[in-house]
Amino acid sequence: MARGRLSCFALAASVLAASALVGACSDGVILASDAQQLYVRLPSGWHVYGARAVEAGNSFFSAMSASPEQYFEGAVAGPRPHPSAIWSPSAYPWAIVEAQGLTSGQQLQMSVEGLSNVLIPIDSLAEQGAEFQQLSQPQAMVRGRLRGSLVSFEYGTGPDTAFDYEQATWVNNPTTKAWVLIVGCSPTCYQLYRSTLGRVVNSFYVGNEGT
């Protein structure tokens, strides 16, 4: 783990010399991986958790499949952060970053709408009774050989269980791998921190055309 008062751009460049990195700098916290060719900048003060900590603190993710090639980090803001805040109607924002290989079944569903099912199996959960409300139409994105989507949802119902989230997903040209960023919190929090969450989403970068 690298710590120091480097510029975020310098810190991101150092990823080329390391397989994975979580760094702090004067204007944010960096999540980056050379192996996965991804970069995300979070605001200062956010606490980062690995997959084991998130799975231990959040029963929802215990049902998610994992593979040896998977990259997963979670992050939480607030004065008393805890990994259990991820995927919940928390009063402060949280984020999920993942890179994963795609199954043959997922590859067949890689439409703009289907990209929202890569990390969170919305269709399957909805069939089981989960409540999802789409807050925005999927926005198609293209960069080089990468294609992706940006969309937002509200999950759950009621003031104590519902939360809003925005998901950015990139897929490589062979449709064998996906990179996902999700940011969210309670509906009130989501509106209050909308600009902050937008900056996090805008910082999400997959390099080298996803190879």
The CATH number that applies at residue 78 is 3.40.1000.10
Report residue 17's pLDDT band, with 50, 70 and 90 as the boundaries: very low
The reported pLDDT for the residue numbered 175 is: 83
What percentage of the chain has pLDDT greater than the value 90?
41
pTM of the model: 0.82
Domain boundaries, position 197: 2-210
As for how many domains the chain has, the answer is 1
pLDDT for 147-175, tens place per residue? 899 999 998 887 788 999 999 999 988 88
- The DSSP output letter for 174 is T
- Of 138, 191, 137, 198, residue with least CA distance to 163: 191
Query: Which of 152-161, 181-190, 202-211 tops mean pLDDT?
Result: 181-190
The three-class DSSP label of residue 70 is: coil
